[in-house]
Structure 1
Amino acid sequence: MDCMQQAVNGRALIADHCQLKFINFETQHNHATHETAGLSAHQLVVRRGWAFKVTLVFHQPINWSKHSLDLEVQLGNNSERFPVHFTAQCHSPLRWSARVFPDDVHSHSVSVHVCSPVLSSVASYHLLLHIQSHHNMHNYELGTFVLLCNPWFKDDPVSMPLEVQLQEYIQSDYGLVYVGTHQSVRQQPWAFGQYESGVLEACMQLLQVSPQHQSDRQTDYLRRVDPVYLCRVLCAMVNCNDDLGVLAGKWQGSYKDGVSPTEWTGSAEILHQWMSSNCSPVRYGQCWVFACVLCTVLRVLGIPSRVVTVFNAAHDANANLTIEEYYSSRGEKFNLSKDSIWNFHVWVECWMRRVDLREEFDGWQVVDPTPQEKSAGVFCCGPCPVSAVQKRCLRCPFDASFILASVDADVIRLIVRDGLVVGRSMDTEWVGQLIYTKNIGSDKPENLTHTYKARTSPPHLEVSMDMEKAPSMGDSICLCVTVSNHSSHPRFLTEHLNAQLKHYNSSPHENFWRTHRQLEIQPFQVLTLHHSIQASQYKFLLTQDDIVNIAVVVKDMRSKERVLATQEFNICSHQITIEIEGGDSIQMKKNYKTHVSYTNHCGNVLAGAVLCVDGYGLLQNKHETRLALLQPGESIQASVSIMASSPGTKLLHGTFSHSQSPGVVCRSFQKISVHD
């Protein structure tokens, strides 16, 4: 028998004709009505607060007027027994209940509609049946079912008002992560994979192996009614710092004993690896990997969630809401502060009513699984209401002050010479300049900055720097420095520029370009100064994930006043072409030819060229094409055959690298719609 009906283990105290033959869990019907289709092919998955249907089939005809039926649900050592009513009695919103409609009563079978309380624990339950007549009693173990949160039900704390929101934040298994810098935003696809086989089981296992469950099972089960509690437990379990969590983090050094964070493209592979290794941590993750895995887990369990990127995100180590940065008088950035600013940081927002707080704090909540600082002794962060961050409610649970600093700390920039501070400026706008998430129903970003930051004062700068155009690999980097003299006397100035490479979450490395000049500016004059960095000065230093940090220090030769301006940006790489014969909509279990290519536009020969193609749910293994030398204007190509094993949105990825660059030079993807 398949998962829709199964034989039943039972024990009759006194033999009679009331023998249960099997139970039909009506899986297809229940999964359709409970919005859980695709989450599991092996067990019944339903949502709390809604009735689900089970059909009991007997060997002999039953006279229902002479028998009473009770159901019992068991969760750990807790159980609740309740009668099955053969009336139109309404379900109780506070207790387990069951009823049979007249049309569902037959001589050999009966269909029972079982309803859980809206505040039921998220867990796997055992279902038992007790049948009693005047003289006989039968007890049966019917099987198990999984109960999830119900964002479709208005009385559930995770209820969302609009169907389009539910489709995006619960049902969609495809998303985008925004990376790079606030001036050159790049998008990376991510397959959340909640409908892949085994993902639901991995999410349930996370709850079972959590420290909370291991130390006190019954209390943990009782607290799982609360989405705030669930978010804190799961946030901590996505990283492995305190427990048997999913991912180990690593931000520098070699990744040879695992997988580089930039190579992951979906959550399912990570969760499968964690399950198959007996809950050993998967190596390695960084912020977007932690966040995307948590987003998958929350969506599976019924908590609406989305991945959010904060550009110029501060890590305020000493909790004073300020970040100090140190520069030399020539614009070279020093690594002297325990505080840091990441070019981007990715966390999760989840949606819920905060019954533990006032109504104004309902809605989106920040949950950050990247292990940075401890919260109540554990490496987790949140859930913290976004509205509390905007209103600067520093004591709002959980971790409001740390999250506020991430998006709105002040930056104090100090210019140091010979151990002395010779210049100082404060920037109140740099941190949290841009906050993005994927828009509903499209691949365009939604700007969330205004939901976190209420104040928008314009910058007051004497020196500013901008790019004349977004640079592409092989092009010159063209910069424009604007110097404004707000005084009534002329100034004699020295301008120093310095360019360094950095990773998104670290301070810059050694510089690769610098220049300086002297100039004169008249009272109230505005000077525009142009600079160019040739491609030959940077191209073999860069990968797609590297960032260029450029700083300019302008010094008044008479007053010794120094003013600093900075910019950070990515250099765009040329795209990989991905074409599927027959288009981007394919059928399951059919082979389709795919052509992938990359053309060398760099103007130099590239040695050790590698074109890699992979796609979870489309290819069994990665496909690699190698060329010893890739000449200028020449293309490296791959033809692969893809076949989808399940419906939904799949992602086919292409990456290009070469031996003269330390990492991936170019990364592209193609969305593919799979149907039955």
Structure 2
Amino acid sequence: MDCMQHTRHNIAGTDNDHCRLKYVNLEVHENHVSHETLGLSGRHLVVRRGKPFKLTLLFRSRAWNPHSEDLVLEVWLGGLSERIPVHFFGEMSDSLRWTAQIYPGDMHRQSVTVHLCSPALSSVALYDLLVHIETAWDKRSYAVGSFVLLCNPWLKDDAVYMPLDVQIQEYVKSDLGLVYMGTHLNICKRPWSFGQYEPGVLEACLKLLQVSPQHLRDKQKDYVRRADPVYLSRVVCAMVNSNDDLGLLEGRWEGSYRGGVRPTEWSGSADILHRWLSSSCCPVRYGQCWVFASVLCTVMRVLGIPSRVVTVFNAAHDTNGNLKIEEIYSTRGEKCEKVSLSRDSIWNFHVWVECWMRRPDLGPGFDGWQVVDPTPQEKSAGIFCCGPCPVVAIQRGCLGVPYDTSFVYASVDADVVRLIMRDGLVVGRTVDTQWVGQLIYTKSIGSDRPENLTQAYKRKGHATAAVNAQHRMCKTQSLSLSSPGGVAPNLEVSLQIERVPSAGENICVCVTVTNRASHRRVLVEHLNAQLKQYCSSPQECFWKTHRELHIQPGEVLTLHHAIPPSEYESVLAGEDIVNVAVVIKDVRTKERVLATEEFNIISPQITIELQGGDSVQMRKEYTVQVSFTNTFAKALSGAVLTVEGSGLLEGKHQTRTLLLQPGHSIEKKVSIMAASPGTKLLMASLSHSSSPSAVTRSFHRVSVLTA
């Protein structure tokens, strides 16, 4: 890098006597390899704190004379600066201050190599670098460029240190992850391209810090506090949503997505970060929980903080802090909108991030994984963010530990109170202590298999549903039921989805009724199925049935029901969930018992085949064959097959057919070419006018290798 003379102070002597700097080589490639930052930026030198990096100084007329001239480096961060005298190796060592050393063999005729090292707890930021050559009578200063300093999970003294390299490879360096979605009965996995090696992503992450309210309010204080990953995680968490700042994403969970991108259409973070940066920090539309979390994971990995995306199945949103979530059902088993003032709810899945860091503010017992949730649900200390909350604090039930532990604890361990209501009165009640937090998943290290984190969050005895939920069938039954008269229940009801159906198959429901009473009963069964989104109450009821039953003392009735595809294909979209509920009523005593289950249907698959396998060379053209076969019993009108892939394809590539008959296929062939290394995603989607909301999506991972 050519040097610009910044200032000059001449006290005595002549220019001929003075050593002058001609050029500084930032040794970018070698430093990037050494600091595990290769590919993060094509514009800046990127290094990690606490580890020396090399600078080679080339002089103009003569070599630097260490006996008569002092060589001083200076780093600037905003209005803060620190002078760093250059010493020969062994003369000094202070891990708490910046150091600049010349190793043996690094002095040459007209150049010298200096190893510059920051303290292990330096601030994450873009620094300016100056070089001063000073004598007793003269000083010359040169602005030689800038560098980005990141956290260093390889370094023991860093607050984000991870002991195993395989963990760092997965939680810092890997640019592809998996997001688990759906329901605990049918867990779907969606790949996500974190994209930290895409051009401009690091610069967008740094910009995010620069426009945060903390930085705009007090730049110097913000720069100083950026040494702490606890502080960084709270700043970034708040900046990923745009609710009260210049943040990245605007959330929307219902209604029209016009003027933006439907959340289900995102497959990577780079596109979102690029759009935000190019729009002068206008929020990108639209995000939902897995989008917020995945983008946060990208930013944290770029900053050097180990992070992973975590999914909680049946996550509670407890707004009043009583660790109880109420759900309302009608006497016919229809799940209703809330009739109380409480905004409590349960999401079939909710996605947040765990970040790895020490917690010196709490003590070593709370080090390790911390929940950081950027989805704007509730305010924390006045801003829309959540965490960092130690996972171990949740497991131990230490609800007073900062930050937001009680809220996160409720997300995984609240009780569900299900009320049967008639004319505003409660006529039946169940309490389910197992529904919330049934499964907590993240991607395994070096594998696409899920890692079950339920035991890390739940107290012993609260994670018993984890194993059962692996099977594609589940049984729910009434718990702690009290009849209106306060009599202990002697009627038991359970509901079972016999197997999770694929699109085009019957939904098979089994209701089991057990009469514990000593007398014969006359019962009425009300069973219905409703459409719902993962984060909201059910909407329309698309199927229902009722009948009268007679049951003898001690008898067990098994009732089988089948919902044919014709009853749900026109209303059920690919990401939708079904709520099935049964209410059994005793005609004489008016006792009512409720059982319920929620599940999602397995969507048909789109086939994506890449010529020559799943690894490609940069700047070489490859062919991709994409196809979809109609497995439904009916023809699909106006079918559109769309293929896209950030970093592989420009824009969207589509093919259409007026009518796709059962068993027939629609195909599209495209050519891809990658301009940068890393992991990219091809995404294919199939939509049709027979059911405009029913979009099928598939993803395919492509590894791009350097030539």
Q: Same fold (TM over 0.5)?
A: yes
Work out the CA distance in 2 between the residues paired with 1:87 and 1:587: 43
Find the partner of 2:387 among 370, 382, 407: 382
Find the partner of 1:591 among 593, 616, 621: 621
Find the partner of 2:568 among 538, 544, 547: 538
1:393-452 deviation line (CA, Å, top 9, x unaligned):
111111111111111111111101122111011001111111111111111111111111
Residue pair 2:477, 2:494 contacting (<8 A) in 1 also: no
- After TM superposition, list the pairs within 5 Å mapping 1:501-650 onto structure 2: 501-650=531-680
1:525-568 deviation line (CA, Å, top 9, x unaligned):
43322110011111121111111110011222333221111111
Find the partner of 1:168 among 167, 170, 195: 170
Partner of 1:450 in structure 2?
Answer: 455
Partner of 2:27 in structure 1?
Answer: 26
Query: Mean alpha-carbon deviation: is it higher for 61-70 or for 306-315?
Result: 61-70
Work out the CA distance in 1 between the residues paired with 2:277 and 2:8: 39
Q: Aligned partner of 1:659: which letter?
A: S
Residue pair 2:177, 2:443 contacting (<8 A) in 1 also: yes
Work out the CA distance in 1 between the residues paired with 2:452 and 2:554: 36
1:336-369 deviation line (CA, Å, top 9, x unaligned):
2521111111111101111100222111111111
Find the partner of 1:659 among 664, 689, 699: 689
| 3-state secondary structure, aligned to 2:172 | helix
- After TM superposition, list the pairs within 5 Å mapping 1:181-580 onto structure 2: 181-336=183-338, 337=340, 338-456=343-461, 461=478, 462-580=492-610
Work out the CA distance in 2 between the residues paired with 1:216 and 1:350: 26
| 3-state secondary structure, aligned to 2:273 | helix
Q: Aligned partner of 1:332: which letter?
A: E
Query: Mean alpha-carbon deviation: is it higher for 187-196 or for 566-575?
Result: 566-575
Residue pair 2:52, 2:118 contacting (<8 A) in 1 also: yes
1:85-119 deviation line (CA, Å, top 9, x unaligned):
02324532101111101210011000000110111
Work out the CA distance in 1 between the residues paired with 2:534 and 2:525: 27
Q: How many residue pairs are counted as aligned between the two chains? A: 672
Residue pair 1:306, 1:349 contacting (<8 A) in 2 also: yes
| 3-state secondary structure, aligned to 1:443 | coil
Work out the CA distance in 2 between the residues paired with 1:616 and 1:490: 66
Work out the CA distance in 2 between the residues paired with 1:123 and 1:401: 33
TM-score, normalised relative to structure 2 = 0.93
Partner of 2:472 in structure 1?
Answer: none
Find the partner of 1:6 among 2, 6, 14: 2
1:259-309 deviation line (CA, Å, top 9, x unaligned):
111111100000000000000111111111111110000000011101111
Work out the CA distance in 1 between the residues paired with 2:520 and 2:87: 92
TM-score, normalised relative to structure 1 = 0.97
Residue pair 1:72, 1:80 contacting (<8 A) in 2 also: yes
| 3-state secondary structure, aligned to 2:132 | strand
Residue pair 1:573, 1:665 contacting (<8 A) in 2 also: no
Residue pair 2:41, 2:199 contacting (<8 A) in 1 also: yes
Partner of 2:39 in structure 1?
Answer: 38
Work out the CA distance in 2 between the residues paired with 1:305 and 1:666: 29
Work out the CA distance in 2 between the residues paired with 1:656 and 1:509: 24
Partner of 1:51 in structure 2?
Answer: 52
Residue pair 2:477, 2:493 contacting (<8 A) in 1 also: no
Q: Aligned partner of 1:519: which letter?
A: L
Q: Aligned partner of 1:425: which letter?
A: T
Change (3 A) 1:662 1:199: same
Work out the CA distance in 1 between the residues paired with 2:424 and 2:329: 11
Instruction: Please state how far the C-alpha of 1:664 moved relative to its aligned partner.
Output: 4.4
Q: Aligned partner of 1:536: which letter?
A: S
- Aligned-pair RMSD on alpha carbons? 1.4
| 3-state secondary structure, aligned to 2:169 | helix
Partner of 1:78 in structure 2?
Answer: 80
Work out the CA distance in 2 between the residues paired with 1:648 and 1:318: 44
Instruction: Please state how far the C-alpha of 1:253 moved relative to its aligned partner.
Output: 1.1
| 3-state secondary structure, aligned to 1:583 | coil
Residue pair 1:8, 1:20 contacting (<8 A) in 2 also: no
Work out the CA distance in 1 between the residues paired with 2:19 and 2:689: 74
Work out the CA distance in 2 between the residues paired with 1:205 and 1:91: 34
Q: Aligned partner of 2:82: which letter?
A: E
Work out the CA distance in 2 between the residues paired with 1:664 and 1:622: 19
Work out the CA distance in 2 between the residues paired with 1:590 and 1:392: 54
| Seq. identity, % | 64
Residue pair 1:542, 1:665 contacting (<8 A) in 2 also: no
Residue pair 1:485, 1:525 contacting (<8 A) in 2 also: yes
Work out the CA distance in 1 between the residues paired with 2:256 and 2:6: 57
Work out the CA distance in 1 between the residues paired with 2:164 and 2:231: 25
Work out the CA distance in 1 between the residues paired with 2:165 and 2:107: 34
Unmatched segments (≥5 aa) in structure 1: none
Work out the CA distance in 1 between the residues paired with 2:370 and 2:384: 17
Q: Aligned partner of 1:253: which letter?
A: G
Residue pair 1:8, 1:22 contacting (<8 A) in 2 also: no
Instruction: Please state how far the C-alpha of 1:178 moved relative to its aligned partner.
Output: 0.8
Partner of 2:467 in structure 1?
Answer: none
Partner of 1:103 in structure 2?
Answer: 105
Work out the CA distance in 1 between the residues paired with 2:589 and 2:97: 77
Residue pair 2:477, 2:495 contacting (<8 A) in 1 also: no
Residue pair 1:353, 1:362 contacting (<8 A) in 2 also: yes
| 3-state secondary structure, aligned to 1:166 | helix
Change (3 A) 1:455 1:557: farther
Instruction: Please state how far the C-alpha of 1:488 moved relative to its aligned partner.
Output: 4.3
Instruction: Please state how far the C-alpha of 1:455 moved relative to its aligned partner.
Output: 3.6
Partner of 2:155 in structure 1?
Answer: 153
Instruction: Please state how far the C-alpha of 1:608 moved relative to its aligned partner.
Output: 1.2
1:220-240 deviation line (CA, Å, top 9, x unaligned):
111111111101111000011
Work out the CA distance in 2 between the residues paired with 1:456 and 1:465: 23
- After TM superposition, list the pairs within 5 Å mapping 1:124-143 onto structure 2: 124-143=126-145
Instruction: Please state how far the C-alpha of 1:490 moved relative to its aligned partner.
Output: 4.1
Instruction: Please state how far the C-alpha of 1:460 moved relative to its aligned partner.
Output: 7.0
Q: Aligned partner of 1:511: which letter?
A: C
Change (3 A) 1:642 1:664: farther
Work out the CA distance in 2 between the residues paired with 1:400 and 1:490: 50
